[in-house]
Amino acid sequence: MTDAATTLQQEIAAEQRHVDRVYARLAVLRQAAARAEKEGYRLARVGNFGALVERDAMVFHAARRRHALDAEHEGLVFGRLDLREGQVLHVGRLGVRGENAEPLVVDWRAPAAAAFYQATAADPRGVVRRRMIQSSGEKVTNIEDDLLDPAAAPESMRVVGDGALLATLARATGRGMRDIVATIQREQDQAIRSPASSVTIVSGGPGTGKTAVALHRAAYLLYSDRSRFAGGGILVVGPSSVFVEYIASVLPSLGEEAAALHSLGSIVGGVTATRTDPTAVASVKGSLRMRRVLERATHDAVPGGPTELRLLYRGGLLRLGRPELDAIRARALPRGARRNEVRRAGIDGLFDALWAQAQRHKIGGLPAQVDFEDELAERSDFREFLKAWWPRLAPRHVLAWLADPKRLNSYAGGLLSTAEIALLRGAFTPGDPTVADVALLDELDELLGRPPQPAKRQRDPFHVVDGVREVSTYADRQRAARAAAVQRPDDYREYAHVVVDESQDVSPMQWRMLGRRGRLASWTVVGDPAQSAWTGDPGELARARDKALGGRRRHEFTLTTNYRNSAEIFEVAARVIREVSPDIALPRAVRSTGVPPEELTVPAAELPAATREAAERLLADVEGTVGVITSVPRRDEVAEWVAGLPTDRLQVVTSLQAKGMEYDGVVLISPDEIRTDAGARTLYVALSRATQRLTTLGPSA
């Protein structure tokens, strides 16, 4: 064995001793937590209120602790700092103390651990040596050191390894994104630890870790102010369900589950939309002018509703025709009024008109007006009429009205251009909303309002969502409380923090939808304008975003290193974006594979076979996942071309679903089609998804 190898083995053995001690301590703590839970339940039998509260606190904390101890088992200790004064700190996924309360491991989110991510040779922050400890389960497998302050290093200090980050980046990509807790870089760490109450805006090119930063920031916030962020809830929003699935395991791997993950198509309760509109259509649907279009719709007569009211009353005929009914509706529903909230005013309008008519017709034996109204209100024919004339409307009912070209014209006339209206014709399918429609449904929910409710029974005062925190929560409801933090009630609007990923593609109407859910929230917004598919008015977009984010202090960060793509692959993507933004500042790709992307053209008829072949080749070449990226209209066709290939490693996605995704190998079908369908910026996104291999396949002319 060489000297270097021996030194490495000795250092690994030293770290293993510490890691063993930590796991032994962990076993003791886990037992203690289980005992505390049992003890808590025993206290319950004492029966007085004080004992109950104590029980709840005890059981809740014990159970949470046990849960954390279980979740953080893998690779628990991943770092070590040797400080100037000789002090040694081990950094890990959670904090563990020894019998005498001495810190065996410091939680990565604790202030003391910040130096692990932020210290550099130029600014060592008291750190002499930073050590990255890699493990498999409980076994230390490797060590990588950075000597940051050589002048302060004692004689005996040894330095081993060369580059944990690059080793990490070379690992195969799996179905789900991984946490990066052991290798967070300084510029990323600054964004992660940005003040909790602010609006933190993180931008940067493809693969710079924006998503990773956003998720680690959510974990950081939960650590730094748990009662606020776990109680109030954190909402994480991504562009598509494919993406949300991809990132879903990151927070649990960090021991955090109190965040709700949603795609833009699944934020509104009861709706899960995955279909996307063509980008030009999505831009019209996303424009703020749609609010007024929808408002007009909510004030219109119900399609197929009654056009007259006829009632035989004490031998006379009372009749209201279409013009009278429309006038009554318009009076009861002035601009700004919400239809579901003012139904009573509509009914009163009918009563007044019918009463006036009954008097005019001199119907014999007319009672007082209140009794006349009571009599009508009791009649089933009148009630049937009301149900049909002023039904309680759900957002989906009104959105479906837009599928009727005549109605669409009358609502959108003067607000949208003729070309825009033409784009929307046929773009609404009742019962099958697109992702862009979901923001319209949310807007309609606000525009329609809700019928006044009878006063509610007082809620359970121990319910976590109502703001009473851990200490007063029954521990045996702990599971329910955690679920409540993740699955808010349908009308839940006030998250404590909202994380928006791929924010460049959030339309103005979608910003309104998000803004409603974060009226009191602080925000983390990450995105890359160069990857945007938005073709609408940029000024309007900026205004809508500003309004949603509110007046909180803003902190902006830019990430500059591309950790995903090999330099060879990113060069191809960079060429495309430079065509539309020649002066754009692009991140630097740190890895090189020596393998340039493959650009193939084949006769159109051979595209299916060539696609399959290319996918098979990449599956053999890389260890991890392969993505086949197509234009939106071709998605299903291409899925058939590769049917039968192993689905645990292969995924077919559209260029829009590819946003935020990552694969070891990518087969990109017909780049020109993607450019025409969704624009050069979306092609740039598609070209920057691969870590190791990229094959583009197009039809030859």
Ligand X SMILES: Nc1ncnc2c1ncn2[C@@H]1O[C@H](COP(=O)(O)OP(=O)(O)OP(=O)(O)O)[C@@H](O)[C@H]1O
Q: Kindly list the residues in this chain that would bind ligand X in the complex (CB under 6 A).
A: 165, 168-169, 178, 180, 183-185, 188, 204, 206-212, 528, 563-564, 660, 662, 688
Closer residue to ligand X, CB minimum distance, 225 or 571: 571
Closer residue to ligand X, CB minimum distance, 208 or 524: 208
Sheet harboring 554-559: ordered strands across? 259-263, 234-238, 497-500, 522-527, 199-204, 554-559
Closer residue to ligand X, CB minimum distance, 282 or 577: 577
CB of 654 within 8 A of CB of 276? yes
Closer residue to ligand X, CB minimum distance, 16 or 558: 558
Element spanning 117, H or E: helix 114-118
Closer residue to ligand X, CB minimum distance, 180 or 342: 180
The first and second tokens of residue 575, run together, are 């060429």
The first and second tokens of residue 125, run together, are 């922050």
Q: How far apart are CA 565 and CA 557, in angstroms?
A: 21
Closer residue to ligand X, CB minimum distance, 70 or 623: 623
Known binding residue 206? Answer is: yes
CB of 349 within 8 A of CB of 332? yes
DSSP 465: G
Closer residue to ligand X, CB minimum distance, 217 or 512: 217
The first and second tokens of residue 364, run together, are 């014999």
Q: What residues does 693 pair with on adjacent strands?
A: 665
Closest CA to 476 of 43, 87, 112: 43
Counting runs of H as helices and runs of E as strands, what totals does the chain give?
A: 27, 21
The first and second tokens of residue 188, run together, are 């990323």
Backbone angle region of 304, left / alpha / beta, with phi > 0 → left and psi within -120 to 50 → alpha: left
Closer residue to ligand X, CB minimum distance, 113 or 309: 113
**Three-class secondary structure of residue 448 per DSSP:** helix
Residue with nearest beta carbon to ligand X: 209
Closer residue to ligand X, CB minimum distance, 206 or 231: 206
Known binding residue 285? Answer is: no
Closest CA to 250 of 146, 180, 330: 180
Q: 410: buried, middle or exposed (CB in 10 Å: 19+, 13-18, 0-12)?
A: middle
Closer residue to ligand X, CB minimum distance, 424 or 572: 572
Known binding residue 168? Answer is: no
Smallest distance from ligand X to CB 243, Å: 9
Closer residue to ligand X, CB minimum distance, 92 or 433: 92
Known binding residue 207? Answer is: yes
Q: How far apart are CA 177 and CA 173, in angstroms?
A: 8
CB of 126 within 8 A of CB of 236? no
Smallest distance from ligand X to CB 659, Å: 7
Known binding residue 50? Answer is: no
Q: Which residues contact 384 (CB under 8 A, 6 or more apart)?
A: none
Known binding residue 676? Answer is: no
Smallest distance from ligand X to CB 127, Å: 18
Known binding residue 210? Answer is: yes
Q: Which residue, chain included where needed, has tokens 């210290």?
A: 119
Smallest distance from ligand X to CB 324, Å: 58
Q: Give the total residue count for the chain.
A: 701
Closest CA to 290 of 442, 134, 138: 442
Smallest distance from ligand X to CB 682, Å: 12
Q: How far apart are CA 662 and CA 665, in angstroms?
A: 9
Q: How far apart are CA 489 and CA 475, in angstroms?
A: 21
Known binding residue 120? Answer is: no
Smallest distance from ligand X to CB 565, Å: 9
Smallest distance from ligand X to CB 209, Å: 3
Smallest distance from ligand X to CB 593, Å: 15
Q: How far apart are CA 143 and CA 124, in angstroms?
A: 20
Centre a 10 Å sphere on the Cβ of residue 331 and count the other Cβ atoms it contains: 14
Report long-range pairs for 575-583 (Cβ below 8 Å, ≥24 apart).
576/680, 576/683, 576/684, 576/687, 577/530, 577/680, 577/681, 577/684, 579/680, 580/680, 580/681, 581/530
Closer residue to ligand X, CB minimum distance, 610 or 628: 628
Backbone angle region of 173, left / alpha / beta, with phi > 0 → left and psi within -120 to 50 → alpha: beta
Smallest distance from ligand X to CB 296, Å: 38
Give the residue ranges of the annotated binding site. Answer: 204-211
Give the residue ranges of the annotated binding site for ATP. Answer: 204-211
